[in-house]
Amino acid sequence: MADQPRQFDDPELKAAVRKLRGGHTIRPDLRELVVRRLAELRVEGGDIQTPRSRLPKQPDSATTWPSWLGQRWPAIAVIVLLMIGGALGYRHHRRTQEAKAEQARVNTLLAEIVAVHDLGNGNTPGFEPLAAPLSDARSLAAEATGKLGRPVPVLDFTPRGWTLDAAGLCTVGTARAVRFHFTNRTRSLSVISIPASAYTRTGSGQFQVVVSGHPVVGYISSGSLISVVGDTACAMGDTVALRDAIRQ
């Protein structure tokens, strides 16, 4: 059996080997001195590096504004304002035109109501007298209600000095209507009931206007537009009083 290799322990030889292999170490106090001096030199030379974790976070390039937008934003703002102003102007113009068109329809309707009154006591083509006696206001209202399919008020102006001399169905524009014609000495007036849908203006439908010298007042009730129109000799106060009497 071969002999085991002989071990040796030579401190000088081991030290020499460590030196050749770079195994030597620096003293702790010397290391600290070198580190401190390097830090001083960096401060003096302005070569201090801030750790990346302490740097301010840069915005994501996908969320930043393009450079051309920053240069042109005043022009873009002006364009946006012009677009908004144009849209508002167009909206105002459209509403104004709609209001004018609505007013024109109402004016036409009122003119047609006045024209029907000017026909007189009903002795004209297209007038269909009601069968009930002129002295029976309730029967006349019931007959007209049945033929038109909407409520017609009871009209009795005798206590106020007005006499009913004609009552019958007629046409106002394209709407089917009923007309009651009254006289008081030299004055005359008509109460005309047409469908409320013919009056296109929004609101309560109550009005009082003068059309070609005729006082015209009215209101909407139960699907009907009830109008009181007087001749040019009637005062507005007289027609308003009769309208209010109908509504009671």
Question: Would you say residue 116 lies in a domain?
Answer: yes
What is the pTM assigned to this prediction? 0.61
- The total of structural domains in the chain comes to 1
Nearest of 240, 134, 209 to residue 179 by alpha carbon: 134
| Residue bearing tokens 């007036």 | 189
DSSP conformation class of 22: T
Q: What is the pLDDT of residue 203?
A: 58
pLDDT for 206-233, tens place per residue?
Answer: 889 999 999 999 999 888 999 999 999 9
Inside any domain, residue 173: yes
Q: Give the domain CATH number at 123.
A: 3.30.200.100
Q: Is residue 50 part of a domain?
A: no
| Residue 175 included in any domain | yes
CB atoms within 10 A of CB 171: 15
User: 178: closest CA among 129, 239, 246, 217?
Assistant: 129
Least-confidence region, from 25-39, 50-64, 156-170: 50-64
Higher pLDDT pick, 62 / 106: 106
The span from the CA of 248 to the CA of 244, in Å, is 7
Q: Which domain holds residue 133?
A: 97-247
- Say which range, 4-18, 22-36, 104-118, 162-176, has the weakest mean pLDDT: 4-18
Residue 181 lies in a domain: yes
Per-residue pLDDT of 178-216, as tens digits, reads 999 999 999 999 999 999 888 766 556 688 999 999 999
